[in-house]
A = this chain, B = another copy of it.
Amino acid sequence: MSKAVFTAAITGAIHTPSMSPYLPITPAQIIDDCVASHEAGAAVAHIHVRDPLTGYPTADQTVFRQIATEVKQRCDIILCCTTGGRLGEPVQKRGAVVANLKPELASLNAGSLNFALFHVASKVEKWSFDWEEEYLKSTEDFIFPNTFRTMREFLGLMYENNTKPEFEIYDVGMINNLAFLVHNGIAKKPVYLQFVMGILGGIPATPENLVFLVDTARKQIGDFQFSVCAAGKDQMRMCATSLLLGGNARVGLEDSLYVERGVLAKNSGEQVAKIIRIGRELGVDPATPAEARTILGLKGLDQVNF
């Protein structure tokens, strides 16, 4: 049996509270889903934070710390902190969590792209909060900004704090961005890639596209490790494809609110359990957090600042 690292992306900054009553919003909800995902077999929890009252995505450092601390008390799951921030947030603030918590792993978005959610607004019948509709619709004019300078600065920050970057790859050219950073000594190998598929603005979530991404990365970077996540209905299909290609997989309510067609997931742990069932059928066992630390080369939970 081979081992794969399963990640649960708990809440993200894409979905809004009206879309599912199960979307974790409060620190307690986020913490509970980290623990539930751990129990289901996830080795990593990818975390964003939200305003506990409205669910609006924030980067509140106090909330980040609270979540990290309590999760650490309850289990040894690896925390991967986002540096993607919420829509439109200034770049400087997005990295604060790395400096503050010195986590083992943090996301590093490997390029800029349109990141559009406006087309899903029409699917929501009733809004729970004032900010939601405008938040989604405004993305018709939104670019997720990650310039080469941003990437260079984030890398400096992460290496300084011994935090491993997880490179979020939204399209083929971003592999070349990363290869450029590697060849210029700005990013260090071995690198860990998260292929984020199916965002409107990025590469669609199809098996053929994933095969092409993996082949391209092999040609441009040589050895690397990768995981896959996909937006919406393609989540499980693409995660399974990743396992079939020898990769790892990320599920979670950040990426899809469903656990099967028409059935909302009650937490990310349900999705973790499902992809692990698929994995076991295919001869892939979940790596424990300890095994995942070895696989990804992380510094260990005793080296974080929380």
**Interface-side segment among A4-12, A71-79, A148-156:** A148-156
Q: Is the CB of B211 within 8 A of A148?
A: no
Residues of B within 8 A of A106 (CB): none
Complex formed: what's the CA distance from A35 to B29 in Å? 49
Residues of B within 8 A of A215 (CB): 208, 215
Residues of B within 8 A of A209 (CB): 172, 216
- Residues A180 and B200 in contact in the complex (CB < 8 Å), given A114-B112, A171-B171: yes
Copies of this polypeptide in the complex: 4
Q: Is the CB of A143 within 8 A of B140?
A: no
Tell me how far the C-beta of A144 lies from the nearest C-beta in chain B, rounded to whole angstroms.
Answer: 8
Residues of B within 8 A of A212 (CB): 172, 212
Cβ of A161 under 8 Å from chain B? no
- Residues A176 and B148 in contact in the complex (CB < 8 Å), given A112-B143, A236-B281, A281-B236: no
- Encoded as 1 (CB less than 8 Å from any B CB) or 0, chain A from 136 to 179 comes to 00011111011111101000000000000000001111001100
- Encoded as 1 (CB less than 8 Å from any B CB) or 0, chain A from 94 to 118 comes to 0000000000000000011110101
Residues of B within 8 A of A204 (CB): 173, 176, 220
CB-contact partner of A261 in B1, B240, B245, under 8 A? B1
Residues of B within 8 A of A112 (CB): 112-114, 143, 201
Cβ of A207 under 8 Å from chain B? yes
Identity of the chain B residue whose Cβ is nearest the Cβ of A152 in the assembled complex? B140
Complex formed: what's the CA distance from A203 to B169 in Å? 13
Residues of B within 8 A of A189 (CB): none
Q: Is the CB of B143 within 8 A of A145?
A: yes
Cβ of A278 under 8 Å from chain B? yes
Q: Which of A200-257 contact B (CB under 8 A)?
A: 200-204, 207-209, 211-212, 215-216, 220, 236-237, 240-241, 244-245
Cβ of A21 under 8 Å from chain B? no
Complex formed: what's the CA distance from A149 to B171 in Å? 20
Tell me how far the C-beta of A262 lies from the nearest C-beta in chain B, rounded to whole angstroms.
Answer: 10
Tell me how far the C-beta of A258 lies from the nearest C-beta in chain B, rounded to whole angstroms.
Answer: 10
Complex formed: what's the CA distance from A158 to B167 in Å? 38
Complex formed: what's the CA distance from A203 to B202 in Å? 12
Cβ of A188 under 8 Å from chain B? no
Complex formed: what's the CA distance from A262 to B216 in Å? 29
Complex formed: what's the CA distance from A240 to B131 in Å? 42
Cβ of A291 under 8 Å from chain B? no
Tell me how far the C-beta of A228 lies from the nearest C-beta in chain B, rounded to whole angstroms.
Answer: 12
Residues of B within 8 A of A139 (CB): 148
Tell me how far the C-beta of A140 lies from the nearest C-beta in chain B, rounded to whole angstroms.
Answer: 4
Residues of B within 8 A of A146 (CB): 114
Cβ of A283 under 8 Å from chain B? yes
Closest 4 CB pairs of A and B: A141-B149, A173-B202, A112-B143, A171-B173
